[in-house]
Amino acid sequence: MKIQERTGAGGGRSSVPAPPMSGERLPSPPRERKPALAALAVLLILVGALGATMLVLRAGDRIEVVKVTAPIPAGGSVSKENTASVLVAADKSIDYIRWEQLTSLMKLKAVSAIPAGVVPVGQMFTGETGLGAGQAIVGLSLKEGQYPSNLEQGDLVAAYRVTSNGTGTGSSTGSSGSSSSGAGTSLIVDKAKVTDLKRSKDSEVISSTNLPVTLTVDATKAADLAQAAAAGQVALVLIPSS
């Protein structure tokens, strides 16, 4: 009887699965493969690599061109003071002005006003003087006090003859020769445009030397203005632009 009971007990134990031992991993379910996602990932990698390559190629294909750093009025010119060099991507469809062409560009005039920060193109400049019929250009050399301290290229001014002896030398009435515009001053040009102005960056130089100013005036007033300028008797006064 004891032998049979042991046999029966042993048979019962064989039907129950043995629990996993400590440290053993349970089998993981098989992963589901997604070929579409894998292909998309490969495509994104290729697109990113292509974009990076294009950026590198574009960065290497650059040219040095002129950039305007200070406003240039219509009829004005560029100079080393109002320009700087900047690198841009080369584009054959845009008529950029290369930096090495700056000296040649200084001889041209702006067709219209050019604001600061603009990268100009060739169509913005012309070789024409911009003088209309009946106009003339007169150069002045003015001392401090003969022009407004805030005078800039493109301003409109009136030019007066000013004498130190207190008698006017401009237009006169009668045989007395007295000035029609007050003692010591007479109007030479009622409206002239400052087409060029060479202002030094050093304030000490400005106070100790004359300021070269170029005016566009009526041709009939050019001789009187030049004569007064040669005698150091010209004073400029700013007038409204309109």
Assigned domain for 80 exists: yes
Count other C-beta atoms under 10 Å from residue 192's C-beta: 27
> Mind listing the pLDDT tens digit for each residue in 168-197?
444 433 333 333 444 478 999 999 988 888
Assigned domain for 97 exists: yes
DSSP 6-24: HHHHHHHHHTSPPPPPTTP
Assigned domain for 46 exists: no
For the chain, the C-alpha Rg in angstroms (whole number) is 42
Same domain, 226 and 148: yes
φ, ψ of residue 7 to 5 degrees: the values are: -65, -45
Q: Mean pLDDT lowest for which of 143-152, 168-177, 204-213, 226-235?
A: 168-177
Assigned domain for 213 exists: yes
Number of domains composing the chain: 2
User: Going by DSSP bridges, is the β-strand pair 211-218/185-197 parallel, antiparallel, or unpaired?
Assistant: antiparallel
Helix (H) or strand (E) holding 166: none
Same domain, 122 and 143: no
Is pLDDT at 10 greater than 70 in this prediction? no
> Mind listing the pLDDT tens digit for each residue in 40-83?
777 788 878 777 766 655 555 889 999 999 988 777 889 999 99
Query: Which residue segment(s) compose the domain that 186 sits in?
Result: 135-238
Q: What does the pLDDT read at residue 205? A: 42
Q: Do the beta carbons of residue 194 and residue 113 sit within 8 Å?
A: no
Assigned domain for 52 exists: no
Q: What does the pLDDT read at residue 20? A: 57
**Rounded to the nearest 5 degrees, what angle is found at the Cα of 41, between the Cα atoms of 37 and 45?**
170
> Mind listing the pLDDT tens digit for each residue in 123-142?
888 876 666 678 888 889 88
Assigned domain for 25 exists: no
